[in-house]
Amino acid sequence: MASPLTSKDFVRLLDDRLLKVYTEQRDILPVIVDQFYTKVTENRAWLEYFTMGSIPDPAEFNGTITYQGMSPGYHVKIEPKEYAGGLVVERRLLDTERYDIIETQTKKLARAANRKINKIAHEPFAYHDSTQFTFLTHEASEALCANTHASKSGLRTSGYDNLMGLPFNYTNLEACRIQAVGFRDDIGERVQNNFDTILHPTNLAEEVWQVLNAQKEPDQMTNNENFARGRWKAIELPYLDDYDTTDWMVVDASAMKENLIWHEAVSPEFMSTTDFDTLMRKYADYFVVGWGWIDWPWILSNSCS
């Protein structure tokens, strides 16, 4: 009589159990996508965006409306890529009912998928000054953070530098805020922004906390109140330490979510099959994701290396 442990009904129950383990483990793991990105869940080969320039101020009305023109912006294309991982379960583990081992390996598979998604989601900040993109084709061919940004109107002469090299401290934080408030759009008008969040690696966590929580101006020989206290939210991103331990950014959190696009063409899937020749049970996950940015005035970064 056939062993019930390797029957079709048993394997089906085991697969259902492992799917539940995988899904539950994946759902409890932290991921920054929902916090930082606008998520688009469409199974398309790519997404395309086209920006438009700003509209000038209305003219004084003298009986006839003056129609304002605008310049074109830039074409953006986001093309996600496929990712997959898997594990193999030996027949003997099924026969000896070592479900704890199998479930542990399934959890590790979910953690690996989560880790890869998190690494991808950190790329805008880890490679903030790079012009090389994994998923993005941007007509302007420029880094997210740079000392100059192109404009087709030809009207902007300043306010387009969002890359600095200041180490984190109280004075430099305020210098970055002032720089960011001065950002200009394609026709030279001020960008309406609200820079309210600091993104930093773990290595800067203590310094950031000290600056934001001190009652008085940190490291100053004055009795002035701490201007930064209560003004900023800080988000620690440990993955940044894998790329640089001193780089940090300030962002407009609301504008960031509008301009960072996460294309989840295929959400993580868990699947299984049996290899007839080896009697191995195979489990795998698969997902298709990518990201891109539309415009830049929501971030100012510091490259301190």
**Three-class SS of residue 217?**
coil
Give the DSSP H/E element, type plus range, for residue 164.
strand 163-164
Cβ contacts of residue 242 below 8 Å, gap of 6+? 126
* pLDDT for the residue 75: 93
Q: What are phi and psi of 20, to 5 degrees?
A: -65, -45
Residue 11: its pLDDT value, please?
58
> In terms of Cα–Cα distance, which of 46, 99, 48 is closest to 265?
46
Q: Flag the least confident range among 52-56, 113-117, 121-125.
A: 52-56
pLDDT tens digits, 189-233: 999 999 999 999 999 999 999 999 999 888 777 778 999 999 999
Give the C-alpha separation, 302 to 305, whole Å: 9
pLDDT band at 12 (very low <50, low <70, confident <90, very high): low
Residue found under tokens 């929580």: 213
Check residue 6 and give its pLDDT.
Answer: 45
In 10 A of CB 291, how many CB atoms? 24
**pLDDT in the model for residue 5:** 38
Average predicted confidence (pLDDT) for the chain? 88
Q: State pLDDT tens for residues 126-148.
A: 999 999 999 999 999 999 999 99
Q: β-strands 248-251, 299-302: how paired? A: antiparallel
CA 153/CA 295 separation, integer angstroms: 15
The greatest distance separating any two alpha carbons of the chain, rounded to the nearest whole angstrom, comes to 96
DSSP β-ladder status, 197-200 and 280-293: unpaired
- Domain membership of residue 68 (yes or no) is no
Interaxial angle between packed helices 8-28 and 99-121, expressed in degrees from 0 to 180 and rounded to the nearest 10: 40
Answer yes or no: is 205 within a domain.
Answer: yes
The answer to the question of residue 63 being in a domain is no
Domain count along the chain: 1
Q: Is residue 62 part of a domain?
A: no
Please tell me which residue, 211 or 22, carries the higher pLDDT value.
211
Q: What angle do CA 116, 121, 77 make, to 5 degrees?
A: 115
Give the pLDDT confidence of 234-288 residue by residue, as tens digits: 999 999 999 999 999 999 999 999 999 999 999 988 888 878 788 787 888 999 9
Q: What pLDDT shows up at residue 77? A: 96
Range of the domain at 207: 4-54+74-302
The yes-or-no verdict on residue 29 having pLDDT over 70 is: no
Q: Please check whether residue 64 lies inside any domain of the structure.
A: no
- Model-level pTM? 0.86
CATH code of the domain covering residue 86: 3.90.1690
Quick one: pLDDT band at residue 3, thresholds 50, 70, 90? very low
Residue 208 lies in a domain: yes
Indicate whether 69 belongs to any domain: no
Whether residue 66 lies inside any domain: the answer is no
Res 292 pLDDT > 90: yes
